[in-house]
Amino acid sequence: MKRQNFFVGIVVAIALVQTLSAQAPPQPPAPQTFPSYLQGQYATLKRNIAGSVDKMPAEHFSFKPVPEVMSYAELITHVVQTQYGYCGTVKGSANPGASLNFKVTDKAAVGQLVKDSFAYCDDAFAAVTTENAQEMLTRGPAPNQRQLARVNQLTQLIVHGNEHYGNLVTYMRMKGIVPPSSTSSPQ
């Protein structure tokens, strides 16, 4: 009988510990800083632009809804070209995109431009901190140089990229393709 009571006591104690553990308040998530928010937005943009290259068939990279607008490939390469400019300013280096050929329409070549531009910008976003976000940077050649905060450049890259991602979504929908942001869960 004592042995049975002992085992019952152990089972009750284990159940009680498990119940109390299950009722412990959850730990609040770490506060989101502006740099971590910006990095998350950049990751979403990166996923959507790279996904736009992957989802559109190669034969539609020259597609234009009307003659007056950019083709699918031109929209993507415009995003890439602009990213190089913003990230070049943030990194304090010459724009490496200035010497690239952005007139490509081949899916593989456009995909490589996208991959390379995000690789170039990755460390600019990874390096932004609460302490350096407001650091003033110089953009543009003299005499038209402007002083802009680091975070302004990175935010503008995201805004510009998302603006044109919206255009890409329209092009994809016109071709019956579901865009990346509608097929994958946001992070």
Q: Is 28 exposed, middle or buried (0-12, 13-18, 19+ CB in 10 A)?
A: exposed
- Across all residues in the chain, what is the average pLDDT? 87
Backbone angles phi, psi at 137, to 5 degrees: -120, 155
Residue 54: the pLDDT is 97
* 34-70 residue pLDDT tens: 899 999 999 999 999 999 999 999 999 999 999 999 9
Contact 76, 53 (CB under 8 A): yes
* 121-138 residue pLDDT tens: 999 999 999 999 899 988
Residues of the chain with pLDDT under 70: 1-25, 184-187
What is the CATH code for 32-58+67-178? 1.20.120.450
